[in-house]
Amino acid sequence: MTAEISTLPSAKTERHSKRFRQVGQLLRNTRAARAPQTMHFLSALRFSPYLNHMSILRVSILTTLVAMASLRAEPSPAEQKVLDAIKSPGLSVVHLWAPWCSNCQAELKSGGWLKIVKENPQVHFYFISVWNGGQDGRAMLARFELADQPNLTVLADPGPRGKDHIKQFAGMPVSWIPTTWIYKGGDLRYALNYGEIRFPTLQQFLEDSQSEWSHTGEPKIE
């Protein structure tokens, strides 16, 4: 005899279904009740004077940062002149200094700069005063007969002295003065980035920069 399977819901099943419907309705009612409050809260936030002020502040800060970045990206007139000059096929010496710098003064008092500038007329020297508020220090250079030398150009970077001073020039880091670089045809040959220079060493570097460093025809090591 085949048993009949009842498809009618039991009383227990009916009670569970009713409870589920009640819970679902309660959740829908809660969401519906909270929706206007949530929208009102978000709307209040959106038009809050405080948030508007913060948004304006963020835009102002961003604009300032962009402006500062663009200023840093543009070289100063002195820097641009040096960037153009070092591309020449001849030798160029870029010297960063400042009149108040004791190491720079010691170099001048030794007479080394005057001697090397006069003995190398084929080399062009660029004396750039940095960390000095845009003052070129020409008066001090004139005291040591350097300001009017035909193969020497006096320039000044506009940057200040102190914690906001420039930390690079012509794409090179600047952490100390005096600093001296030797270029030929746009290529950096030697960089003396720290302290007073030894002028016999500088003279040797100038001579070496003219060398082709060719050993063609010399016997090779077997």
Give me the residue spans of the domains in the chain. 15-72, 77-210
Highest mean pLDDT among 65-69, 198-202, 214-218: 198-202
pLDDT tens, position by position, 188-211: 999 999 889 999 999 999 999 998
Give dist(CA 152, CA 143) in Å, integer: 15
The pLDDT value given to residue 49: 58
| Pairing label, strands 91-97, 124-129 | parallel
Confidence of residue 105 (pLDDT cuts 50, 70, 90): very high
Picking from 63-72, 104-113, 128-137, which range would have the lowest pLDDT averaged per residue? 63-72
Q: Closest Cα partner for 120 from 172, 182, 185, 187?
A: 182
Residue with the larger pLDDT of the pair 221 and 106: 106
In this prediction, residue 218 carries a pLDDT of 84
* pLDDT attached to residue 114: 99
Give the residue-averaged pLDDT of 15-36: 56
**188-190-191-197 Cα dihedral, nearest 10 degrees:** -150
Q: What pLDDT is attached to residue 157? A: 96
The per-residue pLDDT for 153 is 99
Of the candidate ranges 47-51, 64-68, 89-93, 105-109, the one whose mean pLDDT is the lowest: 64-68
- CATH fourth-level superfamily of 77-210: Glutaredoxin (3.40.30.10)
Q: What is the pTM of this model?
A: 0.66
| pLDDT tops 50 at residue 215 | yes
Q: What is the pLDDT of residue 34?
A: 52
